[in-house]
Amino acid sequence: MNAKNAGKRELELKRYSKLLLSILAIAKLKNYIKDYKAEGNSLRITFGKLNACHAIKPRYMVQVSDIERYARRYLPAKNLGIVIISTSKGLMTHLTAIEKNIGGSLIAYFY
């Protein structure tokens, strides 16, 4: 978010993890970022229609019935943005988790 607020169109990270790559894959599917490339130890991210992205700490464990409550808490409006949830079936958006009836741990949100 610091690079986005500074008016940069892309960002290069020196270290990254598999979790970050999975989160970026979901963000790319939802067009919040245009592209990302992992080359060696560096990661280059090109921003898309991203307004904000934040990690959720502490990582709350949620049941399916509580997911919508947390989505209202973190997202600015209904049907605007996604909450990423780590489930036993992998990372997914809150909408997919509700559809598949799976709870999990809240990771981050984008809008």
Predicted confidence (pLDDT) per residue in 67-100, tens digit: 999 999 999 998 899 999 999 999 999 999 999 9
Domain check: are 56 and 109 in the same one? yes
Q: Which domain holds residue 26?
A: 1-50
- CATH number for the domain spanning 10: value is 3.30.1370.30
Domain check: are 32 and 59 in the same one? no
pTM of the predicted protein model:
0.87
Q: How confident is the model at residue 1 (pLDDT cuts 50, 70, 90)?
A: confident
- CATH number for the domain spanning 90: value is 3.30.1490.10
- Looking at the structure of the chain, the number of domains it has is 2
Kind and range of the H or E run holding 16 = none
